[in-house]
Structure 1
């Protein structure tokens, strides 16, 4: 497994950084998030991005159907926060997320660094994302619970990703990432680290609309839980102009942040365990 991880990281690096080119502003994705996962895009310097994300309940199955108006009367997860272009290739952010896994009331702080960006007709780029998540939920008295929190540092989880992206032509863009989620506190039969691969896709339909797709597949600890189902989502992106980007999506993951939805994805597409979601983003220059 160790050699596999090294080879995957090297392949991403070689594919997207055959040479370190000049810093350009040609886009590969229009937004910094594809659906749940990150692209390599960053905010311009001194630009503030306010965004709200929402995931409804199961479309069908035991928790959906007509009785919950196909999940629209339930909220699986909600996120609200700000990102800021601190430097030309560095974006920082702070978000509050409801949480949909065993840990809730999450505060996420992250930094995205676009290491390289080259080309204008068919741009490619490589980035590193690091994120720290703290759960502010009340401490549980159950020692077998993830929210038992014997020490304050056990409230923290961490996420990092090496991600490369490329626009192949005027219509098609793609990305590939190697990521890891680290828990400071886990149950005795669990690993502290979860490695996964993420792939993203964007298809430009018109000047304003694009189709999105993403999948995250664990390459460690996968199959340990029989009810685990890897996150898979599809979305429609609408650039409305004036700094607005609106996205509506269908995804089986209940959570919005990587430290939540990657380890704790339990919903099955085949049983109606997918949900409608949306993201609204608005940029301001300050």
Structure 2
């Protein structure tokens, strides 16, 4: 009798353990899957500003941009038509960059920013918008860039004095399959103030950008940034009063062919570098100082 009871208890224990294990496996299987927001934006840059996107691990992104002359210069008269609204003026500011991703959460890159300017940068993914196992409502990234102007300047003797730095916190949300929005608080530091000793080394800016997916291959993009300080009544090195324009506005379209992303846009800047666009903008929106630009973006997988 005792042997039978022992066998029954043992069988019950094994059965209970099996049921418990099945319950655990079932709970695991029923746990909500993690779903990431993908393609919040279609490039590492929206138009002129950085996006929360980074290049996938082991991939290299090549990006080349051209910012042309103003579509209409109020003092140019008929030359605006002769130059085909800035497209045939013979003037273009070129920006060319290479982004590589050694890790799935980080990009490193270098850029030729035009007019003897060079840049090196890092971008880190901090949070990624997701639902399911975790609910994170936004994607967050951090962008840091070092900028150097190598043009000869008799008033700037030391290389360190030619450096400037930019840091951006990028906060984005993909609200639906069609609409994404991003905020971009920005801090720019100049080692030497380019406008005179009476002005600050620090420039602060706040930007907002959006993307609307019109079709599977066509997106509409928009950017606006406002410089918060250091743009009025500045003192130049010659003692003259300098005024910059604090508003940067751009609108464009994106065409995705699968292998390339083509971006065409009109914006209130002719500069290629974000340092110049956000801290030294000479284009006045009220005067219609808008210029055409385009960017070609190609990403290649170079390491599996």
Fold agreement, TM-score > 0.5: yes
Q: Match of 2:67?
A: 55
User: Is the 2:227–2:246 Cα contact (8 Å) retained in structure 1?
Assistant: no
Alpha-carbon separation, structure 2, partners of 1:269 and 1:40: 27
User: Is the 1:106–1:133 Cα contact (8 Å) retained in structure 2?
Assistant: yes
1:241 aligns with 2:255: no
SS of the equivalent of 2:257 reads: strand
Q: Match of 2:173?
A: 166
1:31 aligns with 2:47: no
User: Post-superposition shift, 1:259?
Assistant: 1.3
Number of equivalenced pairs: 253
SS of the equivalent of 1:241 reads: coil
Larger mean CA deviation between 193-202 and 181-190 belongs to 181-190
User: Is the 2:246–2:278 Cα contact (8 Å) retained in structure 1?
Assistant: no
Q: Which of these residues, 115, 128, 138, is aligned with residue 142 of structure 2?
A: 128
Segments of structure 2 that go 5 or more residues without pairing to the other structure are: 1-33, 234-241
CA deviation vs aligned residue, 1:71-117 (integer Å, no higher than 9, x gap): 1123341011211112101011111011xxxxx31111010101010
TM-score, normalised with respect to structure 2: 0.78
Alpha-carbon separation, structure 2, partners of 1:26 and 1:219: 32
User: Post-superposition shift, 1:173?
Assistant: 0.4
Larger mean CA deviation between 223-232 and 34-43 belongs to 223-232
Question: Do the aligned partners of residues 87 and 23 (structure 1) sit closer, same or farther apart at CA in structure 2, a change above 3 Å counting?
Answer: farther
User: Is the 2:244–2:280 Cα contact (8 Å) retained in structure 1?
Assistant: no
Segments of structure 1 that go 5 or more residues without pairing to the other structure are: 1-21, 99-103, 142-147
SS of the equivalent of 2:197 reads: coil
Alpha-carbon separation, structure 2, partners of 1:50 and 1:248: 17
CA deviation vs aligned residue, 1:117-136 (integer Å, no higher than 9, x gap): 03169963001000001111
1:219 aligns with 2:228: yes
Q: Match of 2:161?
A: 154
Alpha-carbon separation, structure 1, partners of 2:203 and 2:224: 16
Higher relative CO (Cα under 8 Å, sequence separation at least 6) belongs to: 1
TM-score, normalised with respect to structure 1: 0.83
Q: What CA RMSD, in Å, does the superposition of the two structures yield over aligned residues?
A: 2.1
1:181 aligns with 2:188: yes
Q: Specify the structure having the higher radius of gyration (Cα).
A: 2
Question: Do the aligned partners of residues 226 and 151 (structure 1) sit closer, same or farther apart at CA in structure 2, a change above 3 Å counting?
Answer: closer
Q: Which of these residues, 198, 202, 205, is aligned with residue 214 of structure 2?
A: 205
1:191 aligns with 2:200: yes
Alpha-carbon separation, structure 1, partners of 2:224 and 2:90: 24
Q: Match of 1:67?
A: 82
User: Post-superposition shift, 1:67?
Assistant: 3.3
